[in-house]
């Protein structure tokens, strides 16, 4: 366990923004997590688990918390017929896991290739992309429960996964994800229905697992800001999930707008469609506040230039939310977690 004081969070978030955290503790095992929680209590500081900071906007001011950088390593495999159970430490980088399993010929995570962050972050956010969602592969999640100071194993049902949410997000700060057990398959299960993927493989009738993984990465690279130049946390906003009647009423007003029925009920309304100038509702191309800007290729994404502050990003997010409300009456909320 590595204990540091006043660590600048700009160096630990993909927005490259954030003031100094009072305590910054790197936890490489469950025991480290236990000890770090005890230390935070001794110092009377709230605990904040952090992965790679790819879905967090941290305040510019000093952060009076104990930030626990969850770095628990390890990937183990257990084969059962055509299925393989994979148990992975919460600190493993998501894309490292994707490489490992796809190189072994295991299907299930390939459409989620290229998403930044750790396993812990993927569990909390229930990451999704290109027609796939993390929860589809989950068997169980191991957590350290701060209420009982003990480990618990939760089944997929107990995790209350939903669109970019989970029990761990609802109970932020009281459950720390330590391991995840997933089930992946030897049997090919290509999901090629998402439009960008369909177009990519228009001339390839049966792409391999590794080809799909690589295609997803290459499609994504064209959409998101290059993290060597800009900061970002990916999509800043959640697409609202509305009751069917309301979504149908909105769609009737905006011909051509796609709707996405959700498995758990309701219909997802794609905010990027409204923010895209080509649909003549709102033109948010490169709208800026200070050094924060709406990403022109994918307007759901906010980006930061060197020197941007959390205040710039927050003000820009508020502007997008207000303009969206004025133009369409639709309320949107932030996906990115605020750390202060
Ligand atoms: C360029 C870019 C593209 C992206 N594309 C996508 C995408 O396609 N789909 C998608 O779903 N997301 C996407 N994201 C968002 C982000 O990558 C995911 O949400 C990711 O899973 C966050 O992981 P992290 O380790 O960085 O978590 P962090 O950002 O460090 O933390 C996110 C939240 O999880 C909590 N947390 C982290 N680890 C733990 C833990 N071990 N236990 C308990 N709580 C924890 C934190 O407290 C925080 O509330 C993108 C981000 C970027 C920068």
Q: What's the alpha-carbon Rg for the chain, to the nearest Å? A: 20
Q: Which of 195, 221, 247 is the last residue of a domain?
A: 221
Q: Which residue is closest in CA terms to ligand 1's atom 10? A: 127
Quick one: pLDDT at residue 82?
A: 86
Quick one: pLDDT at residue 246?
A: 92
CATH number at residue 276: 3.90.78.10
Quick one: pLDDT at residue 285?
A: 78
Instruction: Let me know whether 163 and 82 are in one domain.
Output: yes
Total structural domains within the chain = 3
Quick one: pLDDT at residue 271?
A: 92
Quick one: pLDDT at residue 225?
A: 95
Which tens digit of pLDDT belongs to each residue from 136-185? 999 999 999 999 999 999 999 999 999 999 999 999 989 999 999 999 99
pLDDT at 314 over 90: yes
Query: Mean pLDDT throughout 4-31?
Result: 98
What backbone phi and psi angles, to 5 degrees, belong to 139? Answer: -100, -55
Instruction: Let me know whether 91 and 210 are in one domain.
Output: yes
Instruction: Let me know whether 107 and 245 are in one domain.
Output: no
Instruction: Let me know whether 154 and 216 are in one domain.
Output: yes
Enter the tokens of residue 327: 């133009």
Asked whether 85 and 112 are in contact (CB, 8 A), the reply is no
Quick one: pLDDT at residue 264?
A: 84
Confidence of residue 199 (pLDDT cuts 50, 70, 90): very high
Q: Among 164, 166, 183, 213, which one carries the catalytic annotation?
A: 164
Query: Mean pLDDT throughout 18-27?
Result: 98
Instruction: Let me know whether 205 and 84 are in one domain.
Output: yes
Rounded CA separation 330/62 (Å):
34
pLDDT at 302 over 80: yes
Quick one: pLDDT at residue 53?
A: 98
Asked whether 63 and 40 are in contact (CB, 8 A), the reply is no
pLDDT at 234 over 90: yes
Which tens digit of pLDDT belongs to each residue from 24-41? 999 999 999 999 999 999
Which tens digit of pLDDT belongs to each residue from 118-130? 999 999 999 999 9
Enter the tokens of residue 137: 């592969």
Minimum mean pLDDT among 175-189, 252-266, 326-340: which range?
A: 252-266
Quick one: pLDDT at residue 266?
A: 94
Enter the tokens of residue 181: 């057990």
Residue 288 designated active-site: no
Q: Which of 70, 88, 108 is the last residue of a domain?
A: 70
High-pLDDT (> 70) share of the chain, %: 100
CATH number at residue 160: 3.30.465.10
Does residue 14's CB lie within 6 angstroms of at least one atom of ligand 1? yes
Instruction: Let me know whether 79 and 135 are in one domain.
Output: yes
Enter the tokens of residue 147: 């209420």
pLDDT at 294 over 80: yes
Confidence of residue 277 (pLDDT cuts 50, 70, 90): confident
Quick one: pLDDT at residue 286?
A: 76
Quick one: pLDDT at residue 9?
A: 98
Mutation probe of ligand 1 site: the residue of 18, 49, 54, 335 with most atoms within 8 A of C-beta: 54
- Alpha carbon of 336 to ligand 1 centroid (Å): 8
Instruction: Let me know whether 277 and 289 are in one domain.
Output: yes
From the CB of residue 173, how many other CB atoms can be counted at a distance below 10 Å?
12
H-type alpha helices, the chain: 30-42, 94-103, 119-125, 167-170, 195-200, 209-223, 244-253, 271-275, 310-328
Q: Which helix (H) or strand (E) holds 174?
A: none
pLDDT at 205 over 90: no
Across the chain, mean pLDDT equals 96
Q: Among 54, 71, 137, 235, which one carries the catalytic annotation?
A: 235
Q: Which of 172, 203, 221 is the last residue of a domain?
A: 221
Instruction: Let me know whether 105 and 201 are in one domain.
Output: yes
Q: Which residue is closest in CA terms to ligand 1's atom 43? A: 176
Quick one: pLDDT at residue 1?
A: 96
Does residue 176's CB lie within 6 angstroms of at least one atom of ligand 1? yes
Instruction: Let me know whether 244 and 212 are in one domain.
Output: no
Please state the pTM of the whole predicted model: 0.95
Asked whether 173 and 146 are in contact (CB, 8 A), the reply is yes
Rounded CA separation 20/220 (Å):
32
Tell how far CA 90 is from the center of its chain: 14
Task: Give residues with Cβ within 8 angstroms of 253, minimum separation 6.
Answer: none
Instruction: Let me know whether 182 and 85 are in one domain.
Output: yes
Instruction: Let me know whether 203 and 95 are in one domain.
Output: yes
Confidence of residue 283 (pLDDT cuts 50, 70, 90): confident
Instruction: Let me know whether 202 and 88 are in one domain.
Output: yes
Which tens digit of pLDDT belongs to each residue from 93-122? 999 999 999 999 999 999 999 999 999 999
CA trace torsion 96, 10, 169, 302 (10° rounding): -90
Residue 164 designated active-site: yes
Q: How many residues does the chain have?
A: 340
* Residue numbers of the domain that contains 241: 225-339
């Amino acid at each position: 366990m590595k204990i540091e004081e006043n660590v600048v969070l700009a160096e630990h978030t993909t927005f490259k923004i954030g003031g100094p955290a009072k305590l910054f503790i790197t936890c490489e095992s469950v025991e480290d997590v236990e000890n770090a929680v005890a230390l935070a209590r001794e110092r009377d500081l709230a605990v904040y688990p952090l992965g790679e900071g790819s879905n967090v906007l941290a305040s510019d001011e000093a952060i009076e918390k104990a930030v626990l950088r969850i770095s628990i390593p390890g990937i183990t495999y257990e084969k059962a017929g055509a299925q393989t159970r994979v148990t992975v430490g919460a600190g493993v980088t998501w894309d490292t896991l994707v490489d490992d399993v796809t190189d072994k010929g295991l299907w299930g995570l390939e459409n989620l290739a290229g998403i930044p962050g750790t396993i812990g972050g993927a569990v909390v956010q229930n990451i999704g992309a290109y027609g796939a969602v993390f929860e589809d592969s989950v068997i169980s999640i191991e957590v350290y429960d701060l209420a009982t100071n003990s480990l618990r194993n939760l089944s997929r049902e107990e995790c209350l996964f939903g669109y970019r949410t989970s029990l761990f997000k609802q109970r932020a700060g009281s459950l720390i994800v330590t391991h995840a057990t997933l089930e992946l398959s030897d049997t090919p299960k290509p999901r090629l229905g998402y439009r960008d993927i369909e177009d990519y493989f228009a001339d390839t009738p049966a792409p391999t697992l590794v080809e799909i993984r690589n295609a997803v990465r290459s499609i994504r690279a064209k959409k998101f800001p290059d993290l060597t130049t800009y900061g970002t946390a990916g999509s800043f906003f959640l697409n609202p999930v509305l009751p069917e009647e309301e979504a149908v009423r909105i769609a009737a007003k905006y011909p051509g707008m796609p709707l996405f029925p959700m498995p758990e009920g309701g219909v997802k309304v794609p905010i990027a469609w409204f923010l895209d100038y080509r649909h003549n509702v709102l033109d948010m191309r490169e709208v800026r506040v200070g050094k924060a800007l709406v990403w022109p290729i994918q307007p759901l994404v906010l980006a930061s230039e060197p020197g941007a502050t959390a205040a710039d990003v927050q003000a820009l997010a508020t502007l997008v939310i207000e303009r969206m409300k004025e133009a369409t009456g639709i309320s949107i909320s932030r996906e990115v977690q605020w750390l202060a």
